[in-house]
């Protein structure tokens, strides 16, 4: 009895670990299939252009507002914290490096996960429930080639641009708060911002954006393609896609930061 009681938690832990590893394997196989179809003909440029519009252009308002208010709040927080050590002058530098290295890419990635990943998962899951994916197969159209590849490629190219826009708007938000409320000189603020940033900071921000975009689109497509039947299946697929994308974005951010900035 004692051995059985001790073995039960271990068995549950083992099942959880095995399930987690199986999930990683399924996602890896799916990602390899997407990569394999990316450079094969035919190319569905209409789907690609539509995905570029949905992922890129239509995400600009939420990305811009998020970055602007984050940059302004960051300036206020750094000024208040720096005042304790008479270091208020570092506001421009810290806002710039904080937005470009971390907050800009991560916030844009999470916004894309909330907006785009959920939309992709719900759309593809609904197509699966209504048997539209089966219809594509009947018409000799590969679902991954037609549905997944355009979305992943679009996210790969548009999310870094969104990150760049978010970085600029976030720094602008800090600039407006710094010069309008905190008493900073406009020219000195801009001079400190430009001089403090290095090319590696910008490169790392764009690389993170590309990685986060691929993760967001890939998770939305994977959960949508593997959704259950009915409305509950669509809901579970959407929820799982957003959760997986958010966690993987934060994990990828840690790994990329370690690669770029480990001394």
Q: N- to C-terminal Cα distance for the chain? A: 53
- In the chain, the number of structural domains is 1
Whether 74 is in a domain gets the answer: yes
Tell me the residue range of the domain where 60 lies. 48-261
Point out the residues of the chain with pLDDT beneath 50. none
Query: Is 1 a member of any domain?
Result: no
With beta carbons less than 8 A apart as the criterion, state whether 114 and 242 touch. yes
Supply the pLDDT for residue 4. Answer: 59
pLDDT at position 205, please?
93
Taking the complete model, does pTM exceed 0.95, yes or no?
no
Q: Where are the alpha helices (DSSP H) in the chain?
A: 2-38, 45-55, 60-83, 91-97, 104-112, 118-129, 132-138, 143, 149-180, 186-196, 199-225, 230-261
pLDDT number for residue 263? 57
Flag whether 12 is in a domain: no
* Amino acid 5: pLDDT: 54
């Amino acid at each position: 009895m004692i051995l059985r009681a001790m073995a039960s938690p271990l068995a549950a832990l083992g099942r959880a670990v095995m399930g987690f590893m199986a999930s990683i394997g399924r996602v890896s196989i799916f990602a390899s299939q997407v990569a394999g179809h990316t450079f094969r003909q035919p190319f569905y440029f209409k789907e690609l252009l539509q995905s570029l519009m949905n992922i890129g252009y239509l995400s600009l308002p939420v990305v811009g507002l998020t970055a602007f208010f984050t940059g302004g709040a960051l300036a206020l927080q750094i000024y208040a914290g720096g005042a304790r050590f008479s270091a208020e002058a570092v506001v421009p530098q810290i806002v710039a490096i904080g937005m470009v290295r971390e907050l800009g890419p991560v916030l844009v990635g999470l916004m894309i996960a909330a907006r785009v990943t959920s939309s992709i998962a719900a759309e593809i899951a609904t197509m699966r429930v209504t048997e539209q994916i089966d219809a594509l197969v009947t018409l000799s159209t590969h679902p991954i080639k037609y549905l997944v590849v355009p979305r992943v490629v679009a996210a790969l190219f548009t999310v870094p641009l969104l990150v760049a826009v978010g970085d600029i708007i976030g720094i602008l938000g800090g600039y407006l708060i710094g010069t309008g409320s905190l008493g900073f000189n406009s020219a000195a603020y801009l001079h400190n911002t430009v001089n403090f940033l290095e090319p590696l900071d910008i490169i790392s921000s764009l690389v993170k954006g590309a990685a986060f975009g691929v993760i967001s689109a890939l998770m939305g497509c994977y959960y949508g393609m593997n959704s259950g039947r009915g409305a509950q299946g669509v809901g579970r697929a959407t929820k799982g896609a957003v959760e997986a994308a958010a966690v993987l974005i934060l994990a990828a951010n840690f790994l990329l930061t370690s690669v770029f900035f480990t001394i």
